[in-house]
Amino acid sequence: MSHQYRKHFTPLESNPSLFTSLAHTLGLSPALEFHDVLSLHDADLLSLTPRPAHALIIVFPTSPNYEAELTTKDKDITQYTSSGDNEPIIWYKQTINNACGLYAILHAVSNGHARDFIIPNSHLYQLLTTCTPLNPQDRAAFLENDTNLEAAYKTVALQGDSAVPENPEDEVDFHYVCFVRSPKNGHLYELDGDRKGPINLGEFEEDDLLSERGLRVLKEFIEKTECEGGVSLLALAPAE
């Protein structure tokens, strides 16, 4: 991605243990964890993931044309400006390079029933309390300047087994997108900090995002993004 970022982080490996460690460090209850989703097609493998899935994070390789395709998709979309009680979900604009894993985690734990599992007075609780009434630009600036968030992220990011760029300003060829359901209006949302705002995917009655409808949405996303190779999926769900 060639956005003009103001800050740069080491990329976070798409490892459920690392995602869980960071979420718990920030203040998510141990009752929820991130889990690998091993298949979207094999019912037996799919059954290994605990339910309900409160949020899904898809990790996929980006093509050389990915950013141009996003620009085309968003050309007729108005920049998102909602905040507080006016928004059915909370969305974070990404202004930190290579931190799409962090934004995906924040999107997952800030929305839906996962919010009920945030420990009172934890850093995550305080972050949400501060960010919720802010407009997207001020919300993004707050995350950039959150030194405790940055320290927690860096500690976990360095624990991964995958090779990472020596220079955090170097680009990586994969991206994270989160899917959540809003209890406020019962709609499913695609949350990507590199877009102009949250993408409303319409009504979604089920609480489990790995329901039949949820699986269809994921398959359609993979097909439209042309990212069949190297895709992985994480679910935020009850701890085993």
Report the distance separating Cα 100 and Cα 81, nearest Å: 20
Looking at residue 165, its pLDDT comes to 60
Active-site residues, by number, are 100, 175
Looking at residue 168, its pLDDT comes to 61
Burial (CB count within 10 angstroms: exposed 0-12, middle 13-18, buried 19+), residue 31 = exposed
Report the distance separating Cα 30 and Cα 35, nearest Å: 13
Region 23-32: mean pLDDT is 98
Looking at residue 1, its pLDDT comes to 44
Task: Work out the angle between the directed axes of helices 16-26 and 100-110 (0-180°, nearest 10).
Answer: 60
Lowest mean pLDDT among 64-78, 105-119, 133-147, 161-175: 161-175
DSSP for residue 231: -
Looking at residue 184, its pLDDT comes to 94
Is pLDDT of 111 > 80? yes
For 56-107, what is each residue's pLDDT tens digit?
999 998 877 777 778 888 888 999 999 998 899 999 999 999 999 999 999 9
Share the mean pLDDT of the chain: 92
For 186-213, what is each residue's pLDDT tens digit?
999 999 999 999 999 999 999 999 999 9
Region 208-220: mean pLDDT is 96
b/e 134-148 (16+ beta carbons within 10 angstroms → b): eebeebbeebeebee
CA-wise closest residue to 106 among 26, 10, 199: 26
